[in-house]
Amino acid sequence: MDPVHVVEVKEAVLADNDAAAQLNRDKMKEQGTVLVNLMGSPGAGKTSTLLQLIRRLKDAFRIAVMEADVDSDVDAKTIAETGVRVIQLHTAGLCHMDADMTRRGLEAMGTEDLDLIFLENIGNLVCPAEFEIGADLRLMILSVPEGDDKPLKYPLMFTVSDVMIVNKIDTAPIFDFDLEAAAMRARKLNPDIRIFPVSAVSGEGFDALAAYLADVVRERRAAYENH
């Protein structure tokens, strides 16, 4: 296995993050690529969720992953084993990725030949929600052991996300986790949020999530080809 490509992305942040996000969004649209911002707490299962999705999507689409971390490259190494392109981004202690850091990651990785790019954001339910990166989709993971009250305590994350993935659903009885209560709290903040209960260990629920993502990618490709 080749050594993981590591890029240090911590630098002065652009004054206008939203403008930088729009540049990323325009570039992705222009080249027919879908950019996904994957967020969640430490240990929610972001990397294992990516493994399940990549397994289901890599034959149909050209996929790459940017792994953001304050340190280490353990996740990038895990993803590299799937054979998809992967790059490790180090934020040098920063608790989130912003749009310009994302742009530098995209440029270092190369994106022109890709259909689908995942950014695995820093494990954190607070800061990543505040920084638009120019993604086409924001996926957040709530894992069952964290508790069904999390939408009450970290409302912005649930408000800005297009999808709530409820991971480790097989452990719901052990943790007294009420999926309906979690869903109701998330929908109160964000009536349009899509909810996918999954287990990244068993693979349960991932066919539906992969099919949803495949539709988004196909739609983007069709728009690109008819352009």
Residue 163: how many other CB atoms lie within 10 Å: 18
Residue nearer to a copy of itself on the CB measure, 137 or 144: 144
Residue nearer to a copy of itself on the CB measure, 120 or 162: 120
Place of tokens 């409302």: 155
Q: What angle do CA 91, 36, 108 make, to 5 degrees?
A: 50
Cα–Cα distance for residue pair 55/148, rounded to 1 Å: 29
* Residue type for position 171: T
Cα–Cα distance for residue pair 24/119, rounded to 1 Å: 13
Q: Which of 98, 100, 120, 146 binds a copy of itself (CB under 8 A)?
A: 146
Residue 95 lies near a copy of itself (rule: CB under 8 A): yes
Residue 111 Cβ vs a copy of itself, minimum distance, rounded to whole Å: 25
Is residue 115 a contact partner of residue 218, using CB atoms and an 8 Å limit?
no
Q: Which of 22, 31, 82, 124 binds a copy of itself (CB under 8 A)?
A: 124
Size of the site for a copy of itself (CB under 8 A): 33
Residue nearer to a copy of itself on the CB measure, 44 or 109: 44
Residue 149 lies near a copy of itself (rule: CB under 8 A): yes
Is residue 139 a contact partner of residue 163, using CB atoms and an 8 Å limit?
yes
Residue nearer to a copy of itself on the CB measure, 23 or 95: 95
Is residue 213 a contact partner of residue 53, using CB atoms and an 8 Å limit?
yes
Q: Binding pattern to a copy of itself, positions 52-91, x when CB under 8 A?
A: -----------------xxxx-xx----------------
Span of 21-29, 131-139, 151-159, 190-198 interacting with a copy of itself by CB under 8 A: 151-159
Cα–Cα distance for residue pair 22/54, rounded to 1 Å: 26
Cα–Cα distance for residue pair 73/6, rounded to 1 Å: 8
Q: Which of 41, 52, 111, 161 binds a copy of itself (CB under 8 A)?
A: 41
Phi-psi region of 215 (alpha: psi -120 to 50; beta: other; left: phi over 0): alpha
Binding site for a copy of itself (CB under 8 A): 41-43, 69-72, 74-75, 93, 95, 122-127, 130, 143-147, 149-150, 152-156, 168, 171, 174
